[in-house]
């Protein structure tokens, strides 16, 4: 493995020999010299390779190099006279490693993100998607480090599950039955007991219930993996397959959870700002000019914290025609969330204590008997980025809530057992990882912050 271009550009001084491997972004062929802008994806910046007639194959191979070709160039690293670059390479040899056939779809002009999605096998070679993937990686590592430093154990939750964490539909079924010949029971319904797992099975919408098992033994755990929702919503904030980060903490209440969420987000933002300075400057310049100021703002100031009831009062008092009417008992829609965080408070907002009727059965029932210990973190541009709650740890309350939701205790026997054997107050949240990357980069569509988006009607690549 040779030095990456990132490593070459980080050299303290020019002068040495270098070998550069990468893809030609642009090639300019002058009479006596060729300029090849070579990028290997290790950083936004590539390096300019300057090739003269003394280079073997100058008139033949070098002159034929164009956008997309893979090359290896060896030569001297010299200080660059050009603006915006420190070094360039004066090549002694240039070898074409992989040529480009007619019709290379990526040209120098800017392509629309819609078009780039149709060539997801090539789009990581663009500035924007390359930068997204580096930011994604940096954020992912920052998340693991944040938890590791605080003694959390990563728990690998299963992807296939028999239970529906939310008690609501929108799951992908996992089956090995032949769709043209499914076994039936006496009443003519599909007999799922003959399916692979002996029951209906699905792709998981959340690792939370399993994370609770982990927390009831290891105190602090988190999951970080893909989750699946068959929601047919063609929005810029929903995917059918997305990554979720779900910490779960024993001996923890809602207010401690809110503190954790704030510390967590801020620490990830700080890390990515340090590690991806060049990429973030690019997003600020080319994608959304509020990227850097928003990141600075959210890392320096504490988040606002209000109850759902206060949020509804603010929204009712706002001189605003919302598309969805707001009133106590209705869920906050994206437009409401964005009003609170973008216009009213102009910073991230943690909304707590939602009406029990609009939240999941496992959330802690407050003393008022009307609200539960739920918590959503709202951020500018995105709205909800985190959803969490203190969990109901009292057996009889949980049984009551399961009944209220029309669920069966049998399906949750092990979840209820956790309340029978050494139950403690505990709390956790789920962060949508792609929404985090969207927030950091300013990318408008969630499909452009995951390498291979899965959405209704599309799962190619
Ligand atoms: P929303 O109301 O935006 O659909 P939700 O209430 O369904 O979100 P939760 O079930 O609380 O979300 O999931 C936790 C987090 O996962 C959310 O805060 C969000 O960041 C993310 N998330 C939820 N659904 C999706 C999706 N389809 N695609 C990408 N991220 C998602
Ligand atoms: Mn949803």
What is the CA(418)–ligand 1 centre distance, in A?
26
Domains along the chain with CATH numbers? 5-98 (2.40.50.140), 124-170+205-448 (3.30.930.10)
Query: Residue 59 above 60 pLDDT?
Result: yes
Spatial neighbors of 49 by CB under 8 A, at least 6 apart, are: 20, 35, 36, 37, 38, 71, 73, 75, 88, 89, 91, 94
What is the CA(207)–ligand 1 centre distance, in A?
13
- Pocket lining for ligand 1, CB < 6 angstroms: 229, 231, 238-239, 242, 244, 384-387, 430, 432, 434-435
Query: Residue 164 above 70 pLDDT?
Result: no
Q: For residue 382, give both structure tokens.
A: 């995105």
Note the pLDDT of residue 233: 81
Residue 370: other Cβ atoms inside 10 A: 15
* For the chain, percent of residues with pLDDT exceeding 70: 98
Q: Provide the edge-to-edge strand list for the sheet that holds 349-355.
A: 153-154, 220-228, 241-250, 426-432, 383-390, 371-379, 349-355, 304-307
Note the pLDDT of residue 165: 55
Give residue for tokens 């599909």: 190
What is the rounded distance in angstroms from the CA atom of residue 456 to the CA atom of residue 447?
12
Please state the rounded mean pLDDT for residues 100-111: 90
What is the rounded distance in angstroms from the CA atom of residue 316 to the CA atom of residue 322?
10
Query: Residue 235 above 60 pLDDT?
Result: yes
Q: What is the pLDDT of residues 361-416, one digit of tens each?
A: 999 999 999 999 999 999 999 999 999 999 999 999 999 999 999 989 998 999 99
Nearest alpha carbon, ligand 1 atom 12: 387
Please state the rounded mean pLDDT for residues 151-156: 98
Nearest ligand 1 atom to alpha carbon 387: 11
Question: What is the reported pTM?
Answer: 0.95
Note the pLDDT of residue 291: 97
Spatial neighbors of 347 by CB under 8 A, at least 6 apart, are: 297, 298, 301, 303, 304, 341, 380
Please state the rounded mean pLDDT for residues 59-76: 96
Note the pLDDT of residue 124: 98
Ligand nearest to the CA of 456: 1
Q: Which of 337, 379, 430, 450 to mutate to test the pocket of ligand 1 (most atoms within 8 A of CB)?
A: 430
Give residue for tokens 């033949």: 60
Note the pLDDT of residue 349: 98
Please state the rounded mean pLDDT for residues 149-177: 86
Note the pLDDT of residue 1: 85
Q: What is the pLDDT of residues 209-229, one digit of tens each?
A: 999 999 999 999 999 999 999
If one compares 425 and 85, the residue with the highest pLDDT of the two is 425
Note the pLDDT of residue 166: 58
What is the CA(406)–ligand 1 centre distance, in A?
23
Note the pLDDT of residue 82: 79
Q: Which of 238, 264, 331, 432 to mutate to test the pocket of ligand 1 (most atoms within 8 A of CB)?
A: 432
Note the pLDDT of residue 110: 86
DSSP 302: P
Query: Residue 109 above 90 pLDDT?
Result: no
Select from 94, 396, 433, 460 the least CA-distant residue to 243: 433
Whether the Cβ atoms of residue 430 and residue 244 lie closer than 8 Å to each other: yes
Mean of the per-residue pLDDT values of the chain: 95
What is the CA(73)–ligand 2 centre distance, in A?
50
Q: What is the pLDDT of residues 284-336, one digit of tens each?
A: 999 999 999 999 999 999 999 999 999 999 999 998 899 999 999 999 999 99
Exposure of 268 in the CB half-sphere (CA atoms within 13 A): 24
């Amino acid at each position: 493995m040779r030095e990456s271009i990132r490593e070459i550009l980080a050299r303290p001084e020019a002068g040495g020999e270098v070998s550069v491997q990468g893809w030609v972004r642009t090639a300019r062929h002058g009479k006596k010299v060729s300029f090849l802008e070579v990028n290997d994806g290790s950083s936004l910046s590539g390096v300019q390779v300057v090739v003269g007639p003394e280079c073997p194959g100058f008139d033949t191979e070098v002159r034929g190099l164009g956008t997309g070709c893979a090359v290896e160039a060896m030569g001297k690293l010299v200080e660059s006279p050009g603006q915006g670059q420190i070094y360039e390479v004066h090549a002694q040899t240039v070898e074409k490693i992989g040529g480009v056939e007619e019709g290379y779809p990526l040209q120098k002009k800017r392509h629309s993100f819609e078009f780039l999605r149709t060539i997801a096998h090539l789009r990581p070679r663009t500035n924007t998607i390359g930068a997204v993937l580096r930011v994604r990686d940096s954020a992912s590592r920052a998340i693991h480090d944040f938890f590791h430093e605080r003694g959390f154990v990563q728990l690998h939750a299963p992807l296939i599950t028999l239970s529906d964490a939310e008690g609501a539909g929108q799951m992908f079924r996992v089956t090995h039955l032949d769709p043209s010949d499914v076994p039936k029971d006496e009443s003519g319904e599909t007999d799922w007991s003959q399916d692979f797992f002996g029951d209906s099975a699905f792709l998981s919408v959340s690792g939370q219930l399993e994370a609770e098992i982990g927390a009831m033994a290891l105190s602090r755990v988190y999951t970080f993996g893909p989750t699946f929702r068959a929601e047919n919503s063609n929005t810029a904030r929903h995917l059918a397959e997305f990554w979720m980060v779900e910490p779960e903490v024993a001996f923890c209440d809602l207010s401690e959870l809110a503190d954790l969420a704030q510390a967590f987000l801020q620490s990830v933002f700080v890390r990515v700002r340090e590690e991806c300075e060049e990429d973030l400057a690019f997003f600020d310049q080319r994608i959304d000019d509020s990227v850097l100021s928003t990141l600075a703002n959210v890392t320096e100031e504490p988040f606002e914290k209000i109850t759902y009831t206060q949020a509804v009062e603010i929204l009712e008092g706002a001189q605003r025609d919302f598309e969805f009417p707001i009133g106590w008992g209705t869920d906050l829609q994206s437009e409401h969330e964005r009003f609170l965080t973008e216009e009213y408070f102009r910073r991230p907002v943690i909304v707590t204590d939602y009406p029990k009727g609009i939240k999941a059965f496992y959330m802690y029932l407050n003393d008022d008997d009307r609200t539960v210990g739920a918590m959503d973190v709202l951020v500018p541009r995105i709205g909800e980025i985190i959803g969490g709650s203190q969990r109901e740890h009292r057996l009889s309350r949980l049984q009551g809530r399961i009944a209220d939701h029309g669920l069966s205790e049998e399906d949750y026997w092990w979840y209820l057992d956790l309340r029978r054997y050494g139950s403690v107050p505990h709390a956790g949240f789920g962060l949508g990882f792609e929404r985090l990357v969207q927030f950091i980069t300013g990318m408008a569509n969630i499909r452009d912050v995951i390498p291979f988006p899965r959405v209704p009607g599309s799962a190619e690549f």
